[in-house]
């Protein structure tokens, strides 16, 4: 089955074609980072308008790269939520219109399920069951995954997600937008051990996260020290060390609690080099396997939506002009995928 996937949940427009027997045929992505940088963050109305401009040209691009036509598509998947309502409506309405014109079934995909399943696009995908660490701008979660649609929440963020903490801390330090990548880049120049920041909830006895207080600690540290480039780099490194240690130790604890030996890392923060190094080091010591998606599939993308949609679509699936969206949507509420 050939599935067209459309991702438009926030500030990236992604389109991809996935075939259930041939794999990923083509994918294309447009990032709005340059547009939003002028405002220091995502402007929802501008994001929605840009999705409208980009989604059809990207669709034509992936069809051309895959050597396919619209008539070859057998189903359409789109991001139903969570995300910005206006942005979600763009992808959902385009998917519904194409499906109506081509008489095809459609399926709405949970954005986080797309991230969670992205490592299954790799040559050596993880087998079920596994623990998933979902770390992005809006989410920091640990999930027990026993199958597609079979997700149990082990731990969640109580306030700021890891990616959100990266971005807000970068803004405190004057690093601009997008803050997370800029902070991680500057941290490479940091002096190890110069500063020590708290590890929030590291010994809380549960698998939840809290990173809001870490920003306050960074602000206090910045105010107590001269703001030269090296000091900012040292603070960035201390901040990143704290985030990585918490994420790593909580992930190891989740594996121990569930008795599982496979960890999947997904979401934008999953591209962080120090996090990957920390988890891989822990995997060697604790004897578990860790799986990552390609860096290009850590960020929002159409490939993960096309794949997740292909796992859920059936030829006799939904044919309707309705295109529901869910700006807020708990991943644990998803129904299991039929066998």
- The pLDDT of residue 248 is 97
- The pLDDT of residue 336 is 84
- Same domain for 137 and 157: yes
Q: CATH number of the domain at 236, please.
A: 3.30.420.40
pLDDT per residue as tens digits for the range 9-20: 999 999 999 999
- The pLDDT of residue 196 is 94
- Same domain for 194 and 308: no
Strand order in the sheet with 130-135: 150-155, 140-147, 130-135, 262-266, 289-291
Residue 122 maps to a domain: no
What percentage of the chain's residues is helix, strand, coil (to nearest 5)? 45, 20, 35
- The pLDDT of residue 116 is 94
- The pLDDT of residue 335 is 83
Domain of residue 141 covers 128-292
In whole angstroms, what is the distance from residue 180 CA to residue 326 CA?
26
Helix (H, G, I), strand (E, B) or coil at 215: helix
DSSP annotation of 202 reads: T
- The pLDDT of residue 194 is 95
**What residue ranges of the chain have pLDDT lower than 50?**
none
- Same domain for 201 and 109: no
Residue in the structure block whose two tokens are 């979401």 = 267
- The pLDDT of residue 337 is 78
CB-based contacts of 213: which residues, under 8 Å, 6+ apart?
198, 200
Residue 251 φ then ψ, to 5°: -65, -45
Total domains in the fold of the chain: 2
Residue 121 maps to a domain: no
In 3D, which of 9, 264, 247 has the Cα closest to residue 117?
A: 264
In whole angstroms, what is the distance from residue 76 CA to residue 99 CA?
7
- Same domain for 280 and 308: no
Residue 285 maps to a domain: yes
């Amino acid at each position: 089955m050939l599935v067209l996937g459309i991702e438009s949940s926030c500030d990236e427009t992604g389109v991809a074609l996935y075939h259930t027997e041939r794999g990923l045929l083509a994918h294309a992505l447009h990032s709005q980072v340059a547009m939003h940088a002028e405002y220091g963050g995502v402007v929802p109305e501008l994001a929605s308008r840009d999705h409208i401009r980009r989604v059809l040209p990207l669709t034509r691009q992936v069809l051309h790269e895959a050597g396919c036509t619209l008539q070859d598509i057998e189903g359409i998947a789109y991001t139903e939520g969570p995300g910005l309502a206006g942005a979600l409506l763009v992808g959902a309405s385009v998917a519904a219109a194409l499906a109506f014109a081509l008489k095809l079934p459609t399926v709405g995909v949970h954005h986080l399920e797309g991230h969670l399943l992205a490592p299954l696009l790799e040559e050596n995908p993880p087998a079920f069951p596994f623990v998933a660490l979902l770390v992005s701008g809006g989410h920091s979660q640990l999930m027990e995954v026993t199958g597609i649609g079979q997700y149990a929440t082990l731990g969640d963020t109580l306030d700021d997600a890891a990616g959100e903490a990266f971005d807000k801390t970068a803004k405190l330090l004057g690093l601009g937008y997008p803050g997370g990548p800029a902070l991680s880049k500057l941290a490479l120049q940091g002096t190890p051990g110069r500063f020590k920041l708290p590890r929030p909830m590291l010994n809380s006895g549960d698998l939840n996260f809290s990173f809001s207080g870490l920003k306050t600690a960074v602000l206090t540290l910045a105010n107590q020290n001269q703001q030269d480039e090296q000091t900012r780099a040292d603070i960035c490194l201390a901040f990143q060390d704290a985030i990585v240690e918490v994420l790593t130790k909580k992930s190891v604890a989740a594996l121990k609690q569930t008795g599982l030996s496979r960890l999947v890392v997904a979401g934008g923060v999953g591209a962080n080099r120090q996090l990957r190094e920390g988890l891989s080091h822990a995997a060697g010591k604790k004897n578990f396997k860790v799986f990552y998606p390609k860096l290009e599939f850590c960020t929002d993308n159409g490939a993960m939506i096309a794949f997740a949609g292909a796992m859920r679509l059936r030829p006799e699936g939904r044919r309707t002009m309705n295109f529901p969206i869910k700006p807020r949507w708990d991943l644990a509420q998803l129904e299991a995928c039929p066998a």
